[in-house]
Chain A
Amino acid sequence: MKNSFDEKILEEANDWLSVKQNVVLATVIQTWGSSPRPTGSRMIVNEKGDFSGSVSGGCVEAAVVRECLYLLKEKKICKKIEFKISNKSAWEVGLACGGEIEIFLEQIN
Chain B
Amino acid sequence: MKKELLKEIIEKKKRKIEFAIITNLKDGEGCIFEKNKPLEKNFEKHEDKIKSQFNKKKNGVLEGTNIFVENYILPIKVIIIGAVHIAQYLIDFAKNLNFEIFIIDPRGYFASEKRFPGIKISNKWPKDAFNEIKTDQNTALIALTHDPKIDDPALQHALKNNFFYIGALGSKKTHDNRCTRLKESGFKYEQIKKIFGPIGIKLGGKSAPEIALSIISQLVSEVYKK
Q: Which residues of A contact B (CB under 8 A)?
A: 1-5, 10-11, 13-14, 17, 25, 27, 29-30, 38-40, 77-78, 80, 104, 106-109
B68 and A27 form a contact (CB under 8 A): yes
Nearest 8 CB-CB pairs, A to B? A78-B28, A40-B59, A1-B98, A3-B98, A39-B59, A77-B28, A106-B28, A40-B70
A-B contacts besides A109-B1, A109-B3, 19 pairs, CB < 8 Å: A1-B220, A3-B75, A4-B71, A5-B16, A10-B6, A10-B9, A10-B10, A14-B10, A25-B1, A39-B59, A39-B70, A40-B59, A78-B28, A80-B25, A106-B28, A107-B28, A108-B3, A108-B6, A109-B2
Distance, CA A104 to CA B9, complexed state (A): 18
Which one, A2, A11, A80, A106, contacts B10 given CB within 8 A? A11
- Distance, CA A14 to CA B68, complexed state (A): 21
Contact with A along B59-85 (1 / 0, CB 8 A): 111000000101111111000000000
- The residue on B at minimum CB distance from A30 is B61
Knowing A40-B70, A104-B25, the reply to whether A5 touches B13 (Cβ < 8 A) is yes
Interface string of B1-34 (1 = CB under 8 A from A): 1110011011001001000000101011000000
A40 to B2, CA, bound (A): 18
Contact of B9 with A39 in the complex, beta carbons under 8 Å: no
Asked if B51 CB lies within 8 Å of chain A CBs, one says no
Q: Give min CB distance, B71 to chain A, whole Å.
A: 7
The CA of A13 and the CA of B10, in the complex, are separated in Å by 10
B residues lining the A interface (CB < 8 Å): 1-3, 6-7, 9-10, 13, 16, 23, 25, 27-28, 57, 59-61, 68, 70-76, 97-98, 220, 223
Q: How far is the CA of A40 from the CA of B9 in the complex (A)?
A: 14
Within the assembled complex, what's the spacing in Å between the Cα atoms of A14 and B1? Answer: 12
- Inter-subunit contact B6/A13 (CB<8 Å): yes
Min CB distance A77 to B, Å, is 5
Smallest beta-carbon distance A30→chain B, Å: 6
Q: Which residues of B contact A5 (CB under 8 A)?
A: 13, 16, 72, 74-75
Chain A residue nearest to B9 (CB atoms) is A10
With contact pairs A1-B98, A5-B16, A30-B61 given, residues A77 and B27 touching in the complex (Cβ less than 8 Å): yes
Instruction: Please state if B1 and A108 are interface contacts (CB–CB under 8 Å).
Output: yes
B120 to chain A, nearest CB (A): 17
**B-chain residues with CB within 8 Å of residue A2 when the two chains form the complex:** 98
A-B contact pairs, 6 of them (CB 8 A): A1-B223, A5-B72, A14-B7, A25-B1, A38-B59, A106-B23
Known: A29-B25, A29-B60, A29-B61. A14 touches B6 (CB 8 A): yes
Is B68 within 8 A of A1, CB to CB? no
Which chain A residues lie closer than 8 Å to B74 at the CB level? Answer: 5
| Complex CA distance for A109 and B136, rounded to whole angstroms | 39
